[in-house]
Amino acid sequence: MSKYRLYLLGDNLDLFELWEIMNLLSDSDIHAEWIEAFNKLNQNEDVDHNGNQSATVSSCEFNIKLLEYLKKRDMISKKSRPDLKGIVLYGFRSGQIEYQ
């Protein structure tokens, strides 16, 4: 995906559902790292509703925008944040992130 298309998508994330965003990203490296992160976070299952798994994606402008998109839609924990090693994502112990 070209940087220009990625920039446009990042500025218009609210117009799309997550599965549509993932389809648009399908030809990029960003797609693979988010799929891996979602699969890891989807392993969270418990009755306490607190995520026990975390995942990290690279820190770039688009990923930060997608992080805010996911937090706003309560798909990941509000504790998720940019860190020195990338963007650390925390899930919930209940519910799955539907991205396909």
Whether 52 shows a pLDDT value over 60: the answer reads yes
- pLDDT of the residue at 33: 96
Q: Distance (Å, rounded) from C-alpha 61 to C-alpha 42?
A: 24
- pLDDT of the residue at 15: 97
Neighbours of 4 (CB within 10 A): 8
Q: Distance (Å, rounded) from C-alpha 27 to C-alpha 74?
A: 26
User: Tens digit of pLDDT for each residue in 56-88?
Assistant: 999 999 999 999 999 999 999 999 999 889 999
pTM of the model: 0.87
